Structure 1
Amino acid sequence: MAPGAADAANGPSLPLGDDPAALLDAAAWALAALVATLEEASTRPLDEVLRTDRARTAVLEAAGLVRRTGDTLTPHPSLVHADGPTAHSAAQARLSSLRQAVTAAERHPDGAAGGTWADQDDAVLLSQGRASAMTGRALAGRVVPALPGLADRLAREGSRILDVGTGVAALALALARGFPHTEVVGIDVMERVLGLAAAELANAEPDVAGRVSLRHLDVADLAERDAYDLTWLPAPFLSEGALTAAVPRLADALRPGGWIVVGTNPAVADPLRRAVAGWNAVRGGGNSLDTDRMMETLTAAGAREVRAFPTVPGGPVLVAARWSATG
């Protein structure tokens, strides 16, 4: 049975009323209002953005994302971000989801539903990739300083980071900015996305982009040993079999005492969100392992230390592991 199917059978998690299609259609527009507001708030104060487009803000009010008390507008915490780059990344993540939903609603001429990343157009790949810059900043600013020995390693000349599934290299660039003495190697199985990544590097700061290299490589074919101080692995994008096979190779590629950080999805109680996550996993060739199961996978692969770092409420959980404490 697909993930979430049993829960969905017990009743919907939305108050659909007499015209559920109309409500879901309105929800898509509410997401569009959220994306547009976040994008504008990346360069202007959120309060100013909310007051400028009153009709759009009324949609956010109706969705419960803004509360009005007299002349005061109070945004939901999901609209408030620490800085402009974070707001931009959040907007790109939601925009990617919205574009993927449109692709899922369409049919290809051969009658098959396009679901793999190779089926997505460049706009989706760019939005999804640029959203990952937020994760790169979280890695550099929050996770690395909390992992014993790692910040010191990455402050040395010759330190190296592996970015698995680099996409358009947004996360790789964020890590290169965060660690100015580190080389970042980005690998991906899609030649087309690496072309987009090369264009992104060309538009980045030369001293940063010069420390990012790209390789057309499947993680299943990774053969390096003792080569990296930190590896990033976005687990939901790999099939469960590919993920299980990749972990030992990535462990071998770490230098003694190095860390792997794995992006995971938290367990979700809401049946609709869980069912959507299951559908996405099946369509995109990924997996529906949650944080706890990923931690179990790393432990079963021999990791000696495993730690979890939540990002934002309901957002990805970053799981860090290492196989040895020396080096």
Structure 2
Amino acid sequence: MSVRTSPSAPDPSATLEAATWALAALIATLDEAATKPLAEVLAADPQRTAVLEAAGLAQRDGDTLTLHPAYQYADGPSYRSSAQARLSSLRQAVAAAAGESGTAGWADHDDEVLRNQGRASAGTGRALATKVVPALPGLAARLAEPGSRILDVGTGIAALALALAEAFPEAEVVGIDIMERVLRLAREELATAGPAADRITLRHMDVAAVSDQAVYDLIWLPAPFLPEPILTQALPRLIEALKPGAWLVVGTNPAPADGLRRAVAGWQSVRNGGNTYDADRTTEALTTYGLKDQQRFPTVPGGPVLVAAQRP
């Protein structure tokens, strides 16, 4: 008896699985490069580095091998933040593959995921301090005044709040978060963080309940992490909390360039209890609420876009 066989189509998941390992190689390399010279890290594990090269994540110039320019950073903390951001996303993907529910948002994730995501935000704090604040008229001078105030919405483990407190030694930083559990982690982090932590106040608060009037010189709002109804309620309250002439900076996602990334971004946002606002929609909303002088600050290629606007 003969057995009939039919040609089988290539398995697309094989490429996806290989890409997952390439991402793992990148994360491990970035993490090690936070404390060691990049050339030493690449030379120490030739097999891992071969994966990076095959994936186009590393490249040769003669006998010199280095990472793709998108993954070369100025200092160790930036390498560490980049690694932790990607590790957090990978952990979330593993949770989704295991069938774990994501509908309750960040409360679904364990402490390690929250720490990884939070520590990655330190890189955003440094970008705010070194790139965004100096480019916004009058803001650096405001934050140099004793008693100036910054609001960090969704402070998480307070890594971004700490980066801002360190960068602006005259400013008081208020970090709010709706999750008491993550604020417990924040207190643990700040307990060993040095004197800048003394100027950080943590509050257990829903951003939609902010009622301050003309208090803050700078407000940081990571929009993708908020459910859309909450974001809609929060925006006018946060604008009222700004002093006249002060600035709101909103972290947004860029519009994905292809269908796969667009679909993944939508799934990930919904799983984490967020929304699908992108930089364009955010800019339109800020204009509607009467803010002026909108500016955009791209971060890494394909990464968040920071949208800044000033209260008249």
**TM-score normalised according to structure 1 size:** 0.90
Specify the alignment match of 1:33 in structure 2: 25
Q: Which has the higher contact order (CA 8 A, sep 6+)?
A: 1
Code of the residue aligned with 2:188 in structure 1: it is A
Distance in 1 between residues matched to 2:112 and 2:243, nearest whole Å: 36
Aligned ranges 1:134-283 → 2 under 5 Å? 134-205=123-194, 207-283=195-271
Q: Secondary structure at the match of 1:320?
A: strand
Aligned ranges 1:18-167 → 2 under 5 Å? 18-68=10-60, 71-108=63-100, 112=101, 116-167=105-156
Distance in 2 between residues matched to 1:83 and 1:100, nearest whole Å: 27
Distance in 1 between residues matched to 2:298 and 2:63, nearest whole Å: 35
Q: Assess if the C-alpha contact under 8 Å between 2:149 and 2:171 holds in 1.
A: yes
Code of the residue aligned with 1:89 in structure 2: it is S
Q: Secondary structure at the match of 1:172?
A: helix
How many residue pairs align between the two structures?
A: 304
Code of the residue aligned with 1:176 in structure 2: it is A
Q: Which moved more, 1:59-68 or 1:191-200?
A: 59-68
Q: Secondary structure at the match of 1:251?
A: helix
Specify the alignment match of 2:6 in structure 1: none
Q: Secondary structure at the match of 1:210?
A: helix
Distance in 2 between residues matched to 1:69 and 1:306, nearest whole Å: 40
Q: Assess if the C-alpha contact under 8 Å between 2:243 and 2:311 holds in 1.
A: no
Code of the residue aligned with 2:160 in structure 1: it is L
- CA 1:159/1:113 → structure 2, altered by over 3 Å: closer, same or farther? closer
Distance in 2 between residues matched to 1:70 and 1:310, nearest whole Å: 31
Distance in 2 between residues matched to 1:198 and 1:177, nearest whole Å: 17
Specify the alignment match of 1:321 in structure 2: 309
Distance in 1 between residues matched to 2:307 and 2:16, nearest whole Å: 34
Q: Assess if the C-alpha contact under 8 Å between 2:102 and 2:108 holds in 1.
A: no
Aligned ranges 1:282-297 → 2 under 5 Å? 282-297=270-285
Q: Assess if the C-alpha contact under 8 Å between 1:267 and 1:291 holds in 2.
A: yes
Q: Secondary structure at the match of 1:107?
A: coil
Superposition CA RMSD, Å: 1.3
Q: Assess if the C-alpha contact under 8 Å between 1:303 and 1:321 holds in 2.
A: yes
Distance in 1 between residues matched to 2:98 and 2:67, nearest whole Å: 34
Task: State the Cα distance separating 1:78 from its structure 2 match.
Answer: 2.3
Q: Secondary structure at the match of 1:144?
A: helix
Q: Which runs of 4+ in 1 moved over 6 A?
A: none
Distance in 1 between residues matched to 2:222 and 2:127, nearest whole Å: 14
Q: Assess if the C-alpha contact under 8 Å between 2:154 and 2:221 holds in 1.
A: yes
Q: Assess if the C-alpha contact under 8 Å between 2:119 and 2:159 holds in 1.
A: yes
Code of the residue aligned with 1:100 in structure 2: it is Q
Q: Assess if the C-alpha contact under 8 Å between 2:42 and 2:66 holds in 1.
A: no
Q: Please, which of 306, 311, 318 is the counterpart of residue 294 of structure 2? A: 306
Specify the alignment match of 1:5 in structure 2: none
Q: For structure 1, which runs of at least 5 residues remain unmatched after alignment?
A: 1-16
Distance in 2 between residues matched to 1:77 and 1:165, nearest whole Å: 31
Task: State the Cα distance separating 1:114 from its structure 2 match.
Answer: 5.7
Q: Assess if the C-alpha contact under 8 Å between 1:106 and 1:113 holds in 2.
A: no
Specify the alignment match of 1:13 in structure 2: none
Task: State the Cα distance separating 1:70 from its structure 2 match.
Answer: 5.6
Specify the alignment match of 1:11 in structure 2: none
Distance in 2 between residues matched to 1:73 and 1:251, nearest whole Å: 48
Task: State the Cα distance separating 1:103 from its structure 2 match.
Answer: 1.1
Distance in 2 between residues matched to 1:184 and 1:103, nearest whole Å: 33
Per-residue displacement from partner, 1:150-197 (whole Å, max 9, x unpaired)? 101100111000000000000000000000010000000000000000
Q: Assess if the C-alpha contact under 8 Å between 2:177 and 2:206 holds in 1.
A: yes
Task: State the Cα distance separating 1:245 from its structure 2 match.
Answer: 1.2
Task: State the Cα distance separating 1:268 from its structure 2 match.
Answer: 1.6
Code of the residue aligned with 2:12 in structure 1: it is P
Q: Assess if the C-alpha contact under 8 Å between 1:103 and 1:114 holds in 2.
A: no
Task: State the Cα distance separating 1:72 from its structure 2 match.
Answer: 2.4
Q: Secondary structure at the match of 1:64?
A: coil
Distance in 2 between residues matched to 1:113 and 1:251, nearest whole Å: 30
**TM-score normalised according to structure 2 size:** 0.94
Q: Assess if the C-alpha contact under 8 Å between 1:41 and 1:87 holds in 2.
A: yes
